[in-house]
Amino acid sequence: MAFELKQVCFSYGDHRVIENLSFSILPGCFHAVLGPNGCGKTTLLDLLSDHIRPDSGEVFLNGNKLTSYGKRLLARYVASVPQEYQVNFPYTVREVVAMGRYPHQARFSHPTREDMQIVDKALEMCMADELAERFITELSGGEKQRVIFARAIAQQTSVLLLDEPCASLDVKHALGILNVASSQVRTKGVTVVAVMHDINLAARFADNLIFMKQGRKIVSGPARHSLDATIIREVFDVDSVVTTEKHLNVPQVVFLQ
């Protein structure tokens, strides 16, 4: 499913965060959103999920206004993994992941056998099956992040919005989560939009890099075309050298300061 933003602006009080943003997010691709702190990356995801609405301009999903979908219908198409997930009630991990099935169920109904098979498969894919019977309140930050990602996978949507999906993860689980996201793109045509801070991981996994600064899009495109030292300097104010990593044959950045 494709997004289109047309002249979107958004402010928190008097602070303008998104400034006249207009661009398309193509379907069936892995898009990584990159930029300095406070540039509007998370706000962009909140706009795409209809968690917040523009002060002006419009967001479209598959040619329809995002606001026309309604929360329950939109949840059948778009799943979000936030930076932080807080829950004080001691649900089990399996119960939390099963919440991803609610948009597909009739009201007041219980999960079916098929629902729970989907849940168990998502837990396995996200390397969280060993956590299934533990309480979500007992987990570390990284464990919890894998569980919330599994919930999004169980939701079986056409779009995955990921806000710093690797922030709390060790190397093994970060690579595992990104491989799962990439596999969803390749095998199911899912559209992934991920806010990321690790430019090298983004260049390895994403089909398209979107660089933002001060609420505006600076440039977007495949890493081979959009990732260079000039862009890194413009966006992050850091000197770098961009080389091609010989084992993966993808651009990688070495920072010089």
Instruction: Kindly state whether residue 252 falls inside one of the protein's structural domains.
Output: no
* Domain CATH for 188: 3.40.50.300
Q: d(Cα 241, Cα 257) in Å, to the nearest integer? A: 11
Instruction: Kindly state whether residue 226 falls inside one of the protein's structural domains.
Output: no
Instruction: Kindly state whether residue 28 falls inside one of the protein's structural domains.
Output: yes
In the beta sheet, which residues pair with residue 56? 9
Q: Which tens digits make up the pLDDT trace of 189-207?
A: 999 999 999 999 999 999 9
Instruction: Kindly state whether residue 197 falls inside one of the protein's structural domains.
Output: yes
* Strand 191-195 versus strand 30-34 pairing type: parallel
Instruction: Kindly state whether residue 231 falls inside one of the protein's structural domains.
Output: no
Q: Which tens digits make up the pLDDT trace of 28-42?
A: 999 999 999 999 999
Instruction: Kindly state whether residue 236 falls inside one of the protein's structural domains.
Output: no
Q: Would you state the pLDDT for residue 1? A: 77
> In the chain, how many domains are there?
1
| Residues 18 and 43 sit within 8 Å (Cβ to Cβ) | yes
Instruction: Kindly state whether residue 53 falls inside one of the protein's structural domains.
Output: yes
Q: Which tens digits make up the pLDDT trace of 56-98?
A: 999 999 999 999 999 999 999 999 999 888 888 999 999 999 9
Residue 18: give the domain boundaries: 3-221
Instruction: Kindly state whether residue 254 falls inside one of the protein's structural domains.
Output: no
